Amino acid sequence: MLRKTCTRCDKRSFSSDASNRWICPYCQKDLTHVLAEPSEMRCRRWPLRVFKLIRSRNS
């Protein structure tokens, strides 16, 4: 999932695809050219998972 923060109303919207047109669901501003960031939920889980995988392989 990707996340964009609206430059007008400052609310966050989520999408799995940043290549499509991205309209703020709250104020309808066009956010297509705003930089998308990875969603926090997965961003925090992934590095830990990968780290554990590497550890279990080495030991």
**DSSP states of 13-58:** EEES-SSS--B-TTT--B-TTSPPEE-HHHHHHHHHHHHHHHHHHH
Of positions 9, 18, 23, 34, contacts Zn ion by CB under 5 A: 9
Number of residues binding to Zn ion, judged by CB under 5 A:
7
**Segment interacting with Zn ion, rule: CB under 5 A, options 4-12, 15-23, 36-44, 47-55:** 4-12
DSSP state of 9: T
Q: How far is the CB of 4 from Zn ion (least distance, A)?
A: 9
Q: How far is the CB of 51 from Zn ion (least distance, A)?
A: 36
